[in-house]
Amino acid sequence: MLMQQVHVSNPSSSCLILQKPCLRDITHPSFQLWSRPSSFPNQRKQKRVSYGCRSNGNKIKAVAVTEAENKSVKVKATITVQPTVGGIFSEMAIERGLDDIKDLLGQSILLELASTELDPKTKLEKETIKDYAHSKHRSAQEVKYEGEFEVPDNFGEVGAIFVTNEHHREMFIKDIVLDGFLLGPVKFTCESWVHSKYDNPAKRVFFSNKSYLPSETPEGVKRLREEELEQLRGNGQGERKSFERIYDYDVYNDLGDPDSSDDLKRPVLGGNQHPYPRRCRTGRPRCDKDPLSEKRSSTVYVPRDESFSEVKQLTFSTKTLSSGLKALVPALKTLIVDKNLGFPVFSAIDDLFDEGLYLPPLKGIRSILPRLVRHIKDIQEDILLFDPPATMNKDRFFWLRDEEFGRQTLAGLNPCCIQLVTEWPLKSKLDPEIYGPAESAITTEIVEREIRGFNTVEEAIKQKKLFILDYHDLLLPLVKDVRELEGTTLYGSRALFFLTREGTLRPLAIELTRPPMDGKPQWKEVFTPCWHSTGVWLWRLAKLHILAHDSGYHQLVSHWLRTHCATEPYILATNRQLSAMHPIYRLLHPHFRYTMEINALAREALINGDGIIESSFSPGKHSILLSSIAYDQQWQFDLQSLPKDLISRGMAVEDPTAPHGLKLIIEDYPYANDGLVLWDALKTWFTEYVNLYYADDGSIVSDTELQAWWEEIRTVGHGDKKDEPWWPVLKTKLDLIDIVTTIAWTTSGHHAAVNFGQFSFAGYFPNRPTIARNNMPSEDPSDAEWELFLEKPEVIMLKCFPSQIQATTVMTVLDILSNHSPDEEYLGETVEPAWEEEPLVKAAFEKFRGKLIELEGIIDARNADRTRRNRNGAGIVPYELLKPSSEPGVTGKGVPYSISI
């Protein structure tokens, strides 16, 4: 008979009600293994193997006492495996017959239970208890295997399970449940791929759900913890295989394809010449023509558990994106033969939403893109038909209004670039010997003419009324190179805005600048809103140019660089330096799911040489170089924090009496209003979590894994900026809280704000053209060009807009990128298994969930408030991009945990 004896140091502890051993101040049992496996891969998603709670004051100890050491208990292990497209249950698998035989023989999966305790006599690891699991149940949704174990009463707690996949193909294990113990079933939630032993004989290990700081790790687990991390780091050698789980660093040297064409050679991003974050190393061979570049391939390696395409439903957005790009884009190129063909009239743009484009026969295209491709039964043909975006549905002429131009800088797709004007006159910091006179052409007289009756420029700056979108110095050095490309142009640009009494931004002036080039001096001109027809059309064209610049900056910097690209080093360092048992690993894990997979796809088809971005956005083949320049000149880790970002742009000042400790300069700033509530909810949740695991600041400094993690992020993942003075130190709990909140905000709130509104705001491309193809008609015009502008200004605008192939390709991609999967994992919606098993952590998470539900109501109330003119009014789409939850589809709301699309 097995009895439970409990020693209690504080009988008032609430943990006794749960009848589960408490984890806070226990001397944790440890385990070692009889034989040392050669590999200890990291788990991706785990659940309970033992119970516990954390408490600062109560000390509870649970031990098992047996009447006879030779007694044992029968334990049944149930393994749930999910059938996958290419896994062990694929009907097309050549090895399927052999695997079926193994299932019949009951030798499908070998399990080994490992004890947390050492042998009391030898002080060595106890021998693992082994058994084969055999197939018991099979359906379309899951396959269950069962194994039975005789577990001696003196074996101790099961701390780990080793899995050997005896099949010839990998399998996806959802969970393992051990039934038969006195305290109830023990569950390991795996959610992970397990390789075939024929690919790699190393066993796969899944640990218990207890979180340990390195200093608290039981002696028997220390070696496993260290060796697991060593295996995950790899040795930096060889080409990575698809089943591997190796996390290593490399530069961005795989965006070009010089072996195919000299024109597809691209600079290496990462290093002194072109600073950049690091990406995951694949180990592919180098190009024949350029030894600095890596050969491209049809598939891009990511560590196996970062890949999801065969696990996620077929409607998952990134699978759709991959298939859509490979099938639809080539079809569009055959349909629209002339890549420079523009839209002849505005009604032809509307036809994309009303009539659609007839597609050539494409097998399976409707199942891949059911939202975009419709079948016309009468003629038995497929058409590409776009749903009108929400903005267009509300107001078909929204894109023409200057008020909407100003509003979208605060509540649109790129609301994180507007900044306060603090110095006058405006002046370039570029070398005037190269780029011409530094003084802006936006003079005091021009501004005061536009704000006549309100303020002088001096008063407007003092009262914080002038704001600017400034891409002048960032773009001007690229103008000459971009203008050498076919079908596009570029300027350095600025747009100035005035804050009205109603709290809205009124556009005042747009400046476009061309540097000295081709024997011509610097050209710059200022365009303002006008009542005369010529001025009206010049103003509209100037808006087209700066909106194209804003679109490029949004996609390449606000979106790709600040979220996708900057986050990959965090993921690599977390898996390389933080054990899966580390509480910070478990805190950040949901914020990293699937990001490496979507980043690999981006390198394959979006940001690569001649990819979607290069072929359809203003910087053309220099697009990714622009991203590197912005990283070098502008990116700072500390400024990825929302409060510090707002302060740095002059959009807020610190005020302890104000909500969130900040006073916004523009009170109705929807991105900041909603974002700060979300930021505070994240920070409060992380504060409670960190305080549960770290007793004091000293435990932060002494956490060897944590310090190595932060060191690697700074000096390797973002190594080109390792010597910058703005990097936060990691010495206190507050330091850690700020760091993890910044990372989580980047992957959740910031990414949602710049991604899921893409189709709503840019689906009707005249509102946010991605490219401007022709110069302003007032820049060195010939008589014929100027005459055409005066006779047919609409034709000039249509020629400047993206071509038909550019517009339809971008619209297709933006529709997919804005789409939520039916199985999206929204922030705060589902508690992580490791959090659920710790009562105090679960309680903190439930408070976090409650704050997110409250945020939903706050956003609804703000959108209904008529005084908030930047989110309420005739034809205005409510600002919901930071509303935490959403239904599937293109909704313009919903904040997932991670960058999963």
pLDDT at 639: 98
Fold classification of 260-384 is Lipoxygenase-1; domain 2 (4.10.375)
Do the first three CATH levels of 71-207 and 260-384 match, i.e. the same topology? no
Q: Which two tokens stand for residue 621?
A: 């083949």
Helix/strand/coil percent split, the chain, to 5: 40, 15, 45
From 236, 238, 30, select the one nearest 117 (Cα to Cα).
30
What residue type is assigned to position 473 of the chain?
D
Give 118's contacts (C-beta < 8 A, 6+ positions apart): 30, 31, 32, 124, 125, 126, 219, 220
Q: Which CATH architecture has domain 416-553?
A: Roll (3.10)
CATH architecture of the domain with residue range 71-207: Sandwich (2.60)
Q: How far is CA 717 from each of CA 568, 573, 627, rounded to the nearest angstrom?
A: 8, 7, 17
Partners of 192 in the beta sheet?
173
- CA–CA separation, 881 vs 605, rounded Å? 26
AA identity, residue 97: G
Where do the structural domains in the chain lie, given as residue ranges? 71-207, 260-384, 416-553, 554-754
- Residue 636's Cβ-count burial label (10 Å; 0-12, 13-18, 19+) is middle
Reading the block at residue 319, the tokens are 């699978």
- Catalytic residue list: 559, 564, 751, 755, 901
Strands (E), 721-822: 819-820
Q: Which CATH architecture has domain 554-754?
A: Up-down Bundle (1.20)
SS3 for 438-464 is: CECCCCHHHHHHHCCCCCCHHHHHHCC
CA dist list (Å): 562 to 321, 728, 816: 21, 17, 20
Q: What is the pLDDT of residues 408-429, one digit of tens each?
A: 999 999 999 999 999 999 999 9
Q: Which residues does residue 889 pair with via DSSP β-bridges, in sequence order?
A: 820
Which of 340, 373, 345, 353 shows the shortest CA–CA distance to 763?
A: 353
Among 257, 248, 256, smallest CA distance to 283 is for 248
CB 307 within 8 A of CB 769: no
Q: Which pLDDT score is estimated for 102?
A: 54
pLDDT digits (tens, 9 = 90+) for 476-520: 999 999 999 999 999 999 999 999 999 999 999 999 999 999 999
Intervals of the chain under pLDDT 70: 1-70, 84-106, 308-325, 363-364, 367, 380
What's the pLDDT score for residue 223? 83
